[in-house]
Chain A
Amino acid sequence: MSNKTLYLVFLLLFAAGCIKEIELKTETGDLSTLVISGEFTNSTGKHVLKLVRPNTYGVSSFDHVGGARVTLFDDSGNSAPYAEVLNAESAAYELDANALPAVTGRAYFVEIVLPDGETYRSEPQVLLPVIPVDTLLVEARTVNRTTGAGVVVQDRLAFVDAQTTLPANETQVFLRWQADCVYFFPEQPLPGPLPPPTRKCYVTEYLTEQQAVVLSLANQNGRTIRTPIAGKRIDKAFEFKAFYNVVQKRISADAFDYFDRISKIANPEGTVFDTPPGTLKGNCYNVNNSSRAPLGYFEVAAVDTFRVSLNGSFFGADFNYAPHCTQDDYYFNRDQECFDCLLLKNSTYERPFYFN
């Protein structure tokens, strides 16, 4: 339910409502709490776990907690240590996927020992069987958006839906999706004689970055469901070639509950009908001192990734996009990313393997 639309109706009734930014003065909460954020899946590559401290409200960077000893355990007594990786962009603890194999039906938990000896653990979670994505369906839809000034505007978005056939013999299934759009963005050649060679960027837009798309499904008995995952504006991303990547995770009931609530906290609708927020307890606990409970979640999930490629022609009349970059941009000193594509957020020269 989109409760903010209740407000929209009032707005429509009276043409008089409004939204404005305000300052609220509160005392800063406890910034020494440990935040654990990590996952262990059946996918290949690295399993990443982050340890940070909360920050003052209004700041979105978080201090890495270094020097911890992080170990993954399974219910068969196997374990594997994470390695701390420090780089300029982000610090984290990583575990090679081969270090401890992901076995369906086996339970996993993580233990964290901080340099001061304080120990944290996650509750063991069973790795469930994978539920694969049947296909992805993309189509253009119109959605309303309320601007910060309270004005309702309409956006034309390219939505991606996941189609999934659910297992026939399971009464309760919990799914979570994450989606991104990776598009190709070539630079424009600089005008003049002997221009330097142009480069090609691959830019990632995280479509579910601030939202957990989760679903609880009961007694579906082999039914095929279609779930809207995310949408993005039909823009320059589709000028050449883009991929929608959707990761479908099968999660536990506990993880579903956590991510459903975290999504509500992070994305309040903004009316008196909103659930009053509060601190959300995750699945980790402090072994030494129960009053110093950590925040965050360590997720064990069975994942399946599905991707679909498309470009502007897919959207027909909806894609009436003039070329984003021209050489005029250089003269008029605009759209500098046309000549230096790394200026685009989350861009890289490294070509993803699925671009050919």
Chain B
Amino acid sequence: MKIKTTLLLYFILFWSIPTLSAQSRLNNSASGTYKSKNIYEILSGLETTYNVRFCNDPELLPWYKLDYSFTNKTLHEVLKGLLNKNTLTYVPLNDSLIAVCRIQDLQSAYIKDLRTRCVNGTIELPEMLQPLKLEKSIGDANNAVKSSKIRISGQISDQDSGEGIAGAVIFVNGVNSGQQTNAIGQYRLDVGSGASALSVKYIGYRETQIALSAWEDGTIDIPMAPMPLGLGEVLVEGNRASNKTNNVQTGVEALPVSLVKELPKLLGESDVIRSLNTIAGVSNVSDGATGFNVRGGNLDQNLTLQDDAPLFNTAHVLGLFSVYNTDVVQSVTLYKGHVPAKYGGRLASVLDVKLRDGDFTQWRGNVGISMASGRGRVEGPLIKKRLSVLAAVRRSYANWMLQFTDLAEGRESRALFYDGIVKLTARIGEKSSLAVSAYQSRDYFRYGQQYGYGWGNLVFNATYRHPIGERAVSVIQVNSGRYNANYFDPSSTNNFNLSNGIDYRNASWRVVFIPNSRHELSYGANWNRNIGRPEIRTPKQDISATSYQNVPKDRGEEFALFGEDEFKINDQFKISAGIRGVFYRNFGPKTLRIYEPGAHLTNENIIDSVVYSGNKTVKTYGGLEPRISLAYKLDDRKSLKISYNRAKQYIHQMSNLASPTPVDIWQVSNTYVRPQTGDQFDLGYSTDWKDRKWEITADVFYKRIQDVPVFKNLPNLLLNPNIETEILPGNGRAHGFEISAKKNTAVRWTGWVNYTWTRTFVRTPTGEGAVNNGDWYPSDFDQPHQVNCYAKYAFNPSITAGFNYTYRTGRPISAPDRVYSVGGIVVPDYSSRNNARIPDYHRLDFSLNIDQNKARISGTKFSFNISIYNLLGRNNPFSVYFERLPGSYPKAYSLSVIGAAIPSIGMDATF
């Protein structure tokens, strides 16, 4: 405080005389309005309005966008209002020169230096803040064809990788609407004959400005330069209708990674899966449960991908966190309505998580800590502009919390996880690239010295992308992976270790071909092989009541051909029509049990068995999976969509639990476990509202599923060689609607609110073993009402506070409806499945984010997140169980994992 006072006195004494004129200009009044401008731009405007000149170091100014308006205010008032909130201040230097600087830079030496550089004209905008300027010309003015309209086309690509940028916007300056690039970065735009000024914008890239002289139709390829992480998102904003209005597909949700990092966190960990639960139609069982449910679907009906490789378990610490490391995630897209034909094999949704490539031009990275884990990322060019590397690792240290418990078992418990990835990306030629990556995640969870789980994913991926001529791109991809899990119980009489898992290989080839501006074709083939790893139980000690057991698991593979066309009929109508043809086979080695014809599949009815040798086909399935989506653009801001989607699922998780354990097996379809077939109809409406600040969407859907596995009462699913004896082929149906309002672009308040009403039912065939007499009953994940609300207030873009609220109807459970006694045991009887519901779920979270990535341009940048998860301390039930206390009848108890507000802090440093 003393220092600041001294400095102020210094300035008053030494700078007061020459600044009298500036002082008078500070007292001039004027009016002005600035919308979505950064401080640099606003100061430039004020220079004209008040006839002054500002000196500043652009690198030290925050570069986020602001709205700022004033009416009949003096310059002093205007500057005070503008600068104070952004930790800036100003100093009049002479009659028309005013220095603007950060409060912490307010020292005489710095101000002197700033004035010198300003007077000498040596201050320049940093390169990355300047638009990339290009001059292009097409044709010759002397030979110009007389036409008022010139059509230009070409590709907009990343200048480092050469890869086309999908979704970039190119527009003629001064014209409000632009054209968006297609899937391989191509565009087509009409401009006037002669000179035009074009701009190209895309989040994460510097704006590119083109001074164009066009006298005839022609081609211009436009490179874009990437921006540092975070900064690009605040500097560039779209100039178009929202994606949802423009997209032909229904039910596509893109979750920005920056949003994932901003949302309130549990123990300071950003989490992709938890963030998905803020989307309409997506929910999960409760805090700490594995996975997510889409529109009431089962967990295994979601295909979860990482760089197109499937992950069979996305949970760390039994579901508290997910395996996706947000430091390396580039994009998160959830397809819950229309699913592109390139994807298949799951009925409810596809979660497509893409990882970033390493930086081709400079070394950078970050380190971060939370209360649960530490992590680091480094990336950079091994060969500049040719070969990049990205490496990231995350490791938990949650054990420290266990050390504070009084309980010996608690102190002896372990909850560890790590994940790591290395990705190399090479540019081959001008526009081809090859990326290879290796990813591993591993969890170890042990309670005391009693029992525990271990599980992990291992994935190798190679992707080769190369253009075919000017209008097509081919992508060839090969994945190989393994999910393995084990359960161990070393201490009891039954001590044993149980291991299982699944190995998979897949290869795909896909071409995106854009013959003209009306068609975008995508076609290709893929092959996917899943090999169930045997379930092996081994005694853990010399003396054990259990014995060695090895249950071989099934193998299956799918061959698929697919094709899809996104066809623009006219400016109003767009169709995306695709088809996927799949041939599936279950193959040996296998011993196939033969059941008595017409009899129920029970162990008693096995009459024979047939042995199939390795690779011999045991059973085949297949069929066509059509999908079509039609969009009608009512006007520039409104669109109506309708879609139909058929999918088949050839792999099923044998879990009848609300939250699967790591060792719940994945069973491929075989003679008796038929593939699930799902048909989904979706009607959607989306609009941009209030000057495109709001994005409103509504979806109505109906879904029916055949051959969904319904488990018999008290099934024995582990170490069961005849697992079909525990399953009934059920039918499912779901219907509902989702409505969402999202405020995307505003300076202070942004956020969304969405509501979902959905009902999901299943039924089994009547007869022996029928569940609920073969009547329809609510599925395990039928949660009719769901409300999500997120509100973010930006003090400035680098300091934000957010509240997240979630409400969900409690999920169905089976509650006892009568009681009886057998052998002295009082048995609650559950004669009706899913006849009750656990209490509803409410949760309010808070987060405060301080993120220098969104303000500073260079140097090490820090970001902090302070979160309070479950702010109201509600006891949201994780499950309900029934317990009979001595002398009493069984009573229902709700069990909450998180029954209090959980504060946390996380920090990240980017360099």
Whether a CB of chain B sits under 8 angstroms from the CB of A116 is no
**Distance of B883 from chain A, by nearest CB (Å):** 7
Question: Chain A residues near B831 (CB, 8 Å)?
Answer: 29-30, 279
Whether a CB of chain A sits under 8 angstroms from the CB of B407 is yes
Q: Answer whether A7 and B447 are a contact pair too, CB < 8 Å, given A210-B826, A280-B713.
A: no
**How far does the alpha carbon of A93 sit from the alpha carbon of B291 in the complex, in Å?**
52
Question: Chain A residues near B611 (CB, 8 Å)?
Answer: none
Query: Which of A50, A218, A268 neighbours the largest number of chain B CB atoms within 10 Å of its CB?
Result: A268
Interface string of A161-200 (1 = CB under 8 A from B): 0000000000000000010000000000000000000000
Interface segment out of the listed A127-135, A270-278, A331-339 = A270-278
Interface segment out of the listed A293-301, A309-317, A320-328 = A293-301
Partner of A261, one of B714, B823, B836, B890: B714
The answer to whether A295 touches B820 (Cβ under 8 A) is yes
Interface segment out of the listed A19-27, A67-75, A78-86 = A19-27
Question: Chain B residues near A59 (CB, 8 Å)?
Answer: 819, 889
The answer to whether A209 touches B825 (Cβ under 8 A) is yes
CB within 8 Å of A: which B357-409 residues: 398, 401-402, 405, 407, 409
**How far does the alpha carbon of A148 sit from the alpha carbon of B894 in the complex, in Å?**
10
The answer to whether B825 touches A12 (Cβ under 8 A) is no
Partner of B815, one of A24, A53, A262: A24
Query: Which of A1, A227, A228, A272 neighbours the largest number of chain B CB atoms within 10 Å of its CB?
Result: A272
**How far does the alpha carbon of A217 sit from the alpha carbon of B496 in the complex, in Å?**
13
Query: Which of A11, A216, A228, A264 neighbours the largest number of chain B CB atoms within 10 Å of its CB?
Result: A11
Query: Which of B407, B823, B831, B836 neighbours the largest number of chain A CB atoms within 10 Å of its CB?
Result: B823
Question: Chain B residues near A23 (CB, 8 Å)?
Answer: 892
| Chain B residue nearest in CB terms to A50 | B821
Whether a CB of chain B sits under 8 angstroms from the CB of A152 is yes
The answer to whether B714 touches A12 (Cβ under 8 A) is no
Interface segment out of the listed B574-582, B652-660, B857-865 = B652-660
**Distance of A7 from chain B, by nearest CB (Å):** 6
**Distance of A55 from chain B, by nearest CB (Å):** 6
Q: Answer whether A277 and B415 are a contact pair too, CB < 8 Å, given A5-B450, A9-B410.
A: no
Whether a CB of chain A sits under 8 angstroms from the CB of B286 is yes
Whether a CB of chain A sits under 8 angstroms from the CB of B882 is yes
**How far does the alpha carbon of A15 sit from the alpha carbon of B447 in the complex, in Å?**
16
**How far does the alpha carbon of A129 sit from the alpha carbon of B494 in the complex, in Å?**
23
Question: Chain A residues near B318 (CB, 8 Å)?
Answer: 6
Partner of B657, one of A9, A154, A265, A272: A272
**How far does the alpha carbon of A272 sit from the alpha carbon of B893 in the complex, in Å?**
13
Interface string of B881-900 (1 = CB under 8 A from A): 11111001111111111111
Question: Chain B residues near A347 (CB, 8 Å)?
Answer: none
Query: Which of B405, B545, B879 neighbours the largest number of chain A CB atoms within 10 Å of its CB?
Result: B545
The answer to whether B661 touches A220 (Cβ under 8 A) is no
| Size class of the A contact interface (CB-based, 8 Å) | 35 or more
The answer to whether A225 touches B543 (Cβ under 8 A) is yes
Interface string of A202-243 (1 = CB under 8 A from B): 000010011110011111100101111000000000000000
The answer to whether A272 touches B822 (Cβ under 8 A) is no
Question: Chain A residues near B157 (CB, 8 Å)?
Answer: none
Question: Chain A residues near B543 (CB, 8 Å)?
Answer: 223, 225-226
Partner of B828, one of A154, A217, A265: A265
Q: Answer whether A275 and B714 are a contact pair too, CB < 8 Å, given A26-B835, A209-B825.
A: yes
Whether a CB of chain B sits under 8 angstroms from the CB of A13 is yes
**How far does the alpha carbon of A82 sit from the alpha carbon of B836 in the complex, in Å?**
41
The answer to whether B836 touches A297 (Cβ under 8 A) is no
Question: Chain B residues near A20 (CB, 8 Å)?
Answer: 875, 893-894, 896
The answer to whether B714 touches A278 (Cβ under 8 A) is yes
The answer to whether A7 touches B895 (Cβ under 8 A) is yes
Whether a CB of chain B sits under 8 angstroms from the CB of A144 is yes
**How far does the alpha carbon of A220 sit from the alpha carbon of B543 in the complex, in Å?**
10
Q: Answer whether A217 and B447 are a contact pair too, CB < 8 Å, given A18-B896, A261-B714, A282-B822.
A: no
**How far does the alpha carbon of A23 sit from the alpha carbon of B815 in the complex, in Å?**
11
Q: Answer whether A209 and B824 are a contact pair too, CB < 8 Å, given A7-B895, A227-B493.
A: yes
The answer to whether A52 touches B825 (Cβ under 8 A) is no
**How far does the alpha carbon of A296 sit from the alpha carbon of B822 in the complex, in Å?**
6
The answer to whether B713 touches A279 (Cβ under 8 A) is yes
Partner of A266, one of B288, B657, B827: B827
Question: Chain A residues near B447 (CB, 8 Å)?
Answer: 2, 5-6, 8-9
Q: Answer whether A60 and B889 are a contact pair too, CB < 8 Å, given A5-B447, A265-B828.
A: yes
**How far does the alpha carbon of A39 sit from the alpha carbon of B822 in the complex, in Å?**
10
The answer to whether A8 touches B824 (Cβ under 8 A) is no
**How far does the alpha carbon of A265 sit from the alpha carbon of B714 in the complex, in Å?**
9
Q: Answer whether A26 and B893 are a contact pair too, CB < 8 Å, given A39-B823, A268-B883, A271-B879.
A: no
Whether a CB of chain A sits under 8 angstroms from the CB of B356 is no
Whether a CB of chain B sits under 8 angstroms from the CB of A355 is no
Partner of B826, one of A24, A26, A266, A282: A266
The answer to whether B825 touches A266 (Cβ under 8 A) is yes
| Chain A residue nearest in CB terms to B716 | A257
Question: Chain B residues near A19 (CB, 8 Å)?
Answer: 893-896
**How far does the alpha carbon of A220 sit from the alpha carbon of B780 in the complex, in Å?**
40
**How far does the alpha carbon of A270 sit from the alpha carbon of B286 in the complex, in Å?**
14
The answer to whether B407 touches A12 (Cβ under 8 A) is yes
Whether a CB of chain A sits under 8 angstroms from the CB of B832 is yes
Whether a CB of chain A sits under 8 angstroms from the CB of B830 is yes
**How far does the alpha carbon of A267 sit from the alpha carbon of B886 in the complex, in Å?**
12
Whether a CB of chain B sits under 8 angstroms from the CB of A45 is no
The answer to whether B894 touches A278 (Cβ under 8 A) is no
CB within 8 Å of A: which B262-295 residues: 285-286, 288-289
The answer to whether B818 touches A14 (Cβ under 8 A) is no
**How far does the alpha carbon of A69 sit from the alpha carbon of B487 in the complex, in Å?**
49
Interface string of B85-121 (1 = CB under 8 A from A): 0000000000000000000000000000000000000
Whether a CB of chain A sits under 8 angstroms from the CB of B573 is no
**How far does the alpha carbon of A147 sit from the alpha carbon of B620 in the complex, in Å?**
54
Whether a CB of chain B sits under 8 angstroms from the CB of A16 is yes
Question: Chain B residues near A215 (CB, 8 Å)?
Answer: 493-494, 545
**How far does the alpha carbon of A272 sit from the alpha carbon of B821 in the complex, in Å?**
26
The answer to whether A37 touches B821 (Cβ under 8 A) is yes
Partner of A35, one of B286, B494, B822: B822
Whether a CB of chain A sits under 8 angstroms from the CB of B151 is no
Partner of B881, one of A39, A144, A150, A268: A268
The answer to whether B893 touches A5 (Cβ under 8 A) is no
| Chain B residue nearest in CB terms to A18 | B899
The answer to whether A144 touches B398 (Cβ under 8 A) is no
Partner of A295, one of B405, B658, B822: B822
Question: Chain B residues near A9 (CB, 8 Å)?
Answer: 402, 410, 413, 415, 445, 447
Question: Chain A residues near B656 (CB, 8 Å)?
Answer: 275-276
Partner of B896, one of A8, A17, A266, A268: A17
The answer to whether A278 touches B880 (Cβ under 8 A) is no
Whether a CB of chain B sits under 8 angstroms from the CB of A329 is no
Question: Chain B residues near A56 (CB, 8 Å)?
Answer: 818-819
The answer to whether B409 touches A28 (Cβ under 8 A) is no
Whether a CB of chain B sits under 8 angstroms from the CB of A353 is no
Q: Which residues of B contact A (CB under 8 A)?
A: 285-286, 288-289, 318, 320, 398, 401-402, 405, 407, 409-410, 413, 415, 445, 447-448, 450-451, 487, 489, 492-494, 543, 545-547, 549, 656-659, 661, 711-716, 771, 780, 813-833, 835-836, 839, 875, 877-885, 888-900, 902
Contacts beyond the supplied A8-B409, A272-B878, A275-B714: 17 A-B pairs with Cβ under 8 Å: A8-B410, A12-B413, A17-B896, A19-B896, A30-B831, A223-B543, A226-B543, A227-B493, A259-B823, A262-B825, A263-B825, A265-B827, A268-B883, A270-B883, A270-B893, A275-B715, A278-B771
A-B complex: 8 closest residue pairs judged by Cβ atoms: A278-B713, A270-B881, A16-B900, A29-B817, A18-B899, A272-B659, A29-B818, A29-B831
Q: List 23 A-B contacts (CB under 8 A).
A: A1-B489, A6-B447, A9-B415, A10-B320, A12-B410, A13-B398, A14-B898, A15-B900, A22-B877, A30-B831, A55-B819, A57-B829, A62-B820, A212-B823, A218-B547, A228-B493, A266-B825, A267-B883, A267-B884, A270-B883, A275-B656, A275-B657, A276-B711
